[in-house]
């Protein structure tokens, strides 16, 4: 979907799933910390700047019914826990953000001039230097740590040929005070929020023949991400944030949205990057899910 401007009041959203999502996020940070949280030394100041702003300004002002400032820190009325207003430890900051905000955060910094692996002849490039991502959609964020935008998106069809240069320019030119919002969507044949693999497919896997995979419609969901991007005023780091939503396709069909979603599924291969149908595994689930949404197949 198109990128659009938004306001800081829309930076993070909260809904009725907050309590259950926070419980799951806390469990993942405890049991799968290696996969969901990582950072490099250069990002420490940026993470601490963001954490301090979130606890002292954004969260208590945006969600006063959930968060309130007390003499000892920021009190979370849902979890009955108090977060320190500041911390000097980046690991603690990322962990507390991940276990109190139902949103994933990636921190990107400009690659220093002179880095032999990323020459700057074509302008400033950005690199992933830290993250807390409990709900990745089919990728392991740790494997992306230290990579440039282009290298992170290497598996995405058409990114390098059609988007790389414009995205590098866009990231480099984003001013402080402007927040960008966009949405994306796909279908997953499982409801797991924490998915390190399985949501994407390569051309090689496609060549092996996977179209006959059985699809359990009761486990199949529309997965959407609400993504935002903004620049920190102090360190000038970029914060890419995304919140994940899932909607069972059974419910979408029953409420009358089936035809619209089926049309969108069939339209994936009609854009300027038809290979996206393989990358998103539409070649596996596309026809079956579209037929189900139109009432032509049972679960």
Name the percent of the chain lying above pLDDT 70: 93
Contact (Cβ atoms closer than 8 angstroms) between residue 156 and residue 139? no
| Average pLDDT for 220-248 | 97
Strand-pair category, 37-39 with 104-110: unpaired
Asked if pLDDT for residue 116 goes beyond 70, the answer is yes
| Mean pLDDT computed over every residue of the chain | 91
Please tell me the distance from the alpha carbon of residue 290 to that of residue 297, in angstroms, as a whole number.
Answer: 9
pLDDT tens, 13-26?
Answer: 788 999 999 999 99
pLDDT tens, 61-93?
Answer: 999 999 999 999 999 999 999 999 999 999 999
Using DSSP, state whether 67 is helix, strand or coil: strand
pLDDT tens, 142-194?
Answer: 999 999 999 999 889 888 888 888 999 999 999 999 999 999 999 999 999 99
Asked if pLDDT for residue 201 goes beyond 80, the answer is yes
Q: What is the pLDDT of residue 6?
A: 57
Model confidence at 114, pLDDT cuts 50, 70, 90, reads: confident
Burial environment of residue 15 by CB neighbours within 10 A (0 to 12, 13 to 18, 19 or more): exposed
User: In sequence order, which residues have a C-beta less than 8 Å from that of residue 130 and are 6 or more positions away?
Assistant: 38, 39, 40, 43, 46, 47, 90, 94, 106, 107, 145
Please tell me the distance from the alpha carbon of residue 115 to that of residue 105, in angstroms, as a whole number.
Answer: 25
Lowest mean pLDDT among 72-81, 100-109, 180-189, 267-276: 267-276
User: For residue 204, what is the enclosing H or E element?
Assistant: helix 203-207
């Amino acid at each position: 979907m198109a990128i659009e401007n938004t306001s800081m009041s829309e930076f993070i959203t909260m809904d009725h799933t907050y309590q259950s999502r926070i419980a799951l996020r806390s469990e993942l940070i405890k049991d799968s910390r290696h996969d969901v949280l990582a950072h490099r030394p250069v990002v420490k100041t940026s993470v601490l700047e963001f954490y301090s702003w979130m606890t002292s300004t954004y969260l208590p002002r945006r969600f006063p019914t959930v968060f309130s400032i007390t003499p000892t820190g920021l009190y979370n009325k849902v979890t009955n826990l108090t977060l320190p207003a500041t911390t000097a430890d980046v690991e603690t900051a990322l962990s507390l953000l991940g276990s109190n905000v139902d949103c994933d955060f990636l921190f990107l910094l400009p690659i220093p001039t002179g880095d032999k692996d990323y020459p700057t002849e074509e302008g400033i490039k950005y690199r992933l230097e830290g993250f807390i991502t409990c709900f990745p959609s089919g990728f392991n964020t740790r494997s992306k740590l230290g990579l440039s935008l282009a290298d992170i998106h290497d598996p995405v069809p058409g990114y390098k040929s059609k988007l790389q240069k414009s995205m590098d320019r866009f990231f480099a030119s984003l001013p402080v005070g402007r927040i960008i919002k966009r949405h994306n969507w796909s279908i997953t044949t499982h409801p797991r929020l924490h998915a390190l693999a399985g949501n994407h497919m390569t051309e090689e896997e496609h060549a092996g023949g996977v179209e006959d995979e059985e699809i359990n419609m009761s486990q199949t969901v529309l997965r959407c991400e609400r993504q935002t991007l903004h620049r920190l005023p102090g360190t000038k780091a970029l914060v890419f944030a995304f919140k994940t939503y899932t909607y069972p396709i059974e419910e979408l069909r029953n409420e009358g949205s089936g035809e619209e979603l089926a049309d969108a599924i069939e339209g994936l291969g009609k854009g300027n990057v038809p290979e996206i149908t393989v990358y998103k595994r539409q070649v596996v689930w596309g026809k079956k899910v579209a037929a189900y949404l139109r009432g032509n197949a049972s679960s």
